[in-house]
Structure 1
């Protein structure tokens, strides 16, 4: 119930993309698809296989891609933004960081497989280099496209009159709102007993002693670490910027000398054994071995009992849900906001179809003001939790109306204005950007006359 993308979602998206990528490769090998340059925008090249891959990927995500010419034009627009972003001195060049992060994502995915060969075979990549390049390309385009879009639309805003005008003009075209709910939650992480903590710490101390006796930190990380993002890489994280890691980890790492190893360190992720590899200015390299603090059945039962007591106080009117969330919730994203759960766009209205299955099941049949029984769930970093959820509101499916959906309509009007600003920017930049389109798209009628621009170079 948080806004951060979970590892499983990342892996699913990458699986879909890589599956598409491999299909295009196999088509190339069998001669079904003759690959080549479809479009050149500045020094950005769009291959025929890129267009096929992105179209298939869009369809997999539920988008309608019925007009290939329209789809190609959207890709050209995006590439022009990316080309301009790379030339914009106010946009930070993050190529090195993106490349490093691509390697870390690769290692994170690798941690889900028994070995590299199995992973590459699953994603249909021939080499690790090829797969890392694919990840890096996705991240690079996303970064530069988003940064340039943000720079162009930074000062965009709409007045109440503009929102009203937008609604009056498009109200018969606006989508219907599906069934929604507004929810609040109180989430607690079951606390480990001292005996359980001591057991984990003792295991880490044993690993540390084995390393001091000659075992390599890297090999022990591969064997014991429960961090999917680094275990396969010997526990290594490179070029870590200060502030990126959780505070206990960073404090311990930066208090070490190069080559020195910490005692067990506790964080929200579990318990770490950390070795500082290198310090370089504001960045550092470190290896770690993570043992997650997984609660056992007894500890989960104890947390459920405590949460049930809190629920009883709320139901009896002795404690408000808002105060209980602030006092007892371990979810930092909601505890300071009266426990209110927000969607990706920041709204407190969430479509029922987009609810996690566990939450959807728990609130089924409940009405406004009802509170679920205590139930077990899984939160960020796959940590086990015990949770109660309050149904703050139930909104039936309806046509958008400015009286009840003003903020949503305002966002739509703002998005329209932003898109118009980007469209204007693209047209202004066209005379200064080389664009070449393959003749196989000569029958396309584009909104922007890309060919005329190219011919006039």
Structure 2
């Protein structure tokens, strides 16, 4: 159930709405319809309001107050409008456009053809769908950037945390069964023979291109990069520092039109063609062959992890030290392997633990460590061992057991109050026009209402 208190627990109201908007709008594909509101030169469509309500219902919300959903969208659009005027927020329109094209191609790779994808997402043309993705990503980027700018100095004292708890403790939800987990993850290493096989295949593809085949056609046939293969391997308007270092170093050392020798990166092996370079921005095509390990290579990785697990169990090394020295998971290796929960803490609702890990944990207790098992991380095959650091039974939130969680709630409430104050300060100088069908709404903010002609 969504209420005012629950919304303050989120990382800003707009975060929830933007994530819903992205999914809902791509599901519906309704882009041309009635205008619900205009904020500066930003527009909220009537379908935006309906889609937010539908998305919230899918997430279990019982609130169906259309006025509240519209006001949240207006708040978000005002942040976007102000962000675009903020000279300290970088204009990333080129990157966002390229990102939208990559997302479009990635979605396309999941369908037999473009017509099937457009029908599934209810778009008439690829151009229309790309524009929709770009619009969503633009709003998300600017909304988040402005939210962070407005709230960057937000902080709460211990007294404020206590005051927040005392004020809302009767409304705080019960915490479900939770678990704290740590992991050590490694990507299986390819044998030298396997690496040579991939490199030789890329060299043959390069020879075929130099003999007359087009780079684009070869990328569509052979590249395993879902984001660019359907587009002939092309990435446009790449900013320096955007790609992984081996890719960028190779690309920027080429002359326009030149093709690199095979290059190894964390994703696999590439050949790269520099298409255009202008200052710190460039276009490049590539063909990627992923470093997908064989069964034997996975077995070797499991054997290595199991031997490290034995060292931990025998007390010869700590889990923390092994994670730091051997884990390939950059998110957790510097934090004793602890897997972060949804709220940023190390506590994870037991029912939300991924199925593969949950299966391996069956029958284990606090302090136990799984044997090595195969999993997937960032679309790459990986091998892991997972330790149960703590088990927290379901309980009512208290300061003694959940101080960090309550502190985050109090901080989010303060951030939302800062955003609300910022929005109110902009109302007198921002053109805001709301459709007459919302005249009966009792908005929390003092929005100026000018009827939109139908």
TM-score (norm 1): 0.90
Alignment of 1:3-22 (within 5 A): 16-21=24-29
Contact 1:11 1:109 in 2 (8 A): no
**Offset at residue 344 of structure 1 (A):** 4.2
Q: Which residue of 2 is the match for residue 308 of structure 1? A: 306
Unpaired stretches in structure 1, ≥5 consecutive residues: 1-9, 29-34
Q: Which residue of 2 is the match for residue 81 of structure 1? A: 79
Secondary structure at the counterpart of residue 404 of structure 1: helix
**Offset at residue 136 of structure 1 (A):** 1.1
**Offset at residue 11 of structure 1 (A):** 12
Please, which of 134, 138, 141 is the counterpart of residue 140 of structure 1? Answer: 138
**Offset at residue 348 of structure 1 (A):** 1.1
**Offset at residue 111 of structure 1 (A):** 2.2
Q: Between Structure 1 and Structure 2, how many residues are aligned?
A: 434
Please, which of 350, 354, 359 is the counterpart of residue 352 of structure 1? Answer: 350
Contact 1:187 1:329 in 2 (8 A): yes
Secondary structure at the counterpart of residue 401 of structure 2: coil
Q: Which residue of 1 is the match for residue 423 of structure 2? A: 426
**Offset at residue 134 of structure 1 (A):** 0.9
State how far apart, in whole Å, the 1-side matches of 2:196 and 2:60 are. 49
Moved over 3 A (4+): 10-17, 61-65
TM-score (norm 2): 0.91
Please, which of 146, 157, 160 is the counterpart of residue 158 of structure 2? Answer: 160
Q: Which residue of 2 is the match for residue 415 of structure 1? A: 412
**Offset at residue 435 of structure 1 (A):** 1.6
State how far apart, in whole Å, the 1-side matches of 2:266 and 2:196 are. 16
My pick for the range that moved more, 295-304 or 113-122, is 113-122
State how far apart, in whole Å, the 1-side matches of 2:24 and 2:444 are. 30
**Offset at residue 267 of structure 1 (A):** 1.0
State how far apart, in whole Å, the 2-side matches of 1:268 and 1:331 are. 12
State how far apart, in whole Å, the 1-side matches of 2:259 and 2:156 are. 55
Q: Which residue of 2 is the match for residue 31 of structure 1? A: none
State how far apart, in whole Å, the 1-side matches of 2:195 and 2:96 are. 37
State how far apart, in whole Å, the 1-side matches of 2:109 and 2:267 are. 17
Deviation string, structure 1 residues 305-344 (Cα, Å, up to 9, x no partner)? 2221111222222221112212222222222222111124
Alignment of 1:80-159 (within 5 A): 80-159=78-157
Alignment of 1:276-425 (within 5 A): 276-380=274-378, 382-425=379-422
Deviation string, structure 1 residues 109-149 (Cα, Å, up to 9, x no partner)? 22222322221122121101110111111111111211221
Change (3 A) 1:11 1:54: closer
Q: Which residue of 2 is the match for residue 208 of structure 1? A: 206
Contact 2:220 2:229 in 1 (8 A): yes
**RMSD in angstroms over aligned alpha carbons?**
2.1
State how far apart, in whole Å, the 1-side matches of 2:437 and 2:134 are. 29
State how far apart, in whole Å, the 1-side matches of 2:21 and 2:228 are. 20
Q: Which residue of 2 is the match for residue 235 of structure 1? A: 233
Secondary structure at the counterpart of residue 416 of structure 2: helix
**Offset at residue 12 of structure 1 (A):** 11
Secondary structure at the counterpart of residue 142 of structure 2: helix
Secondary structure at the counterpart of residue 78 of structure 1: helix
Contact 2:24 2:51 in 1 (8 A): no
State how far apart, in whole Å, the 2-side matches of 1:345 and 1:237 are. 34
Q: Which residue of 2 is the match for residue 32 of structure 1? A: none
Secondary structure at the counterpart of residue 239 of structure 1: strand
**Offset at residue 55 of structure 1 (A):** 2.0
**Offset at residue 231 of structure 1 (A):** 0.3
Deviation string, structure 1 residues 150-208 (Cα, Å, up to 9, x no partner)? 12111111111111111111111112111111111111111111111111111111111
Deviation string, structure 1 residues 18-54 (Cα, Å, up to 9, x no partner)? 2223xx57xx9xxxxxx42221222222221221122
Q: Which residue of 2 is the match for residue 6 of structure 1? A: none
Q: Which residue of 2 is the match for residue 48 of structure 1? A: 46
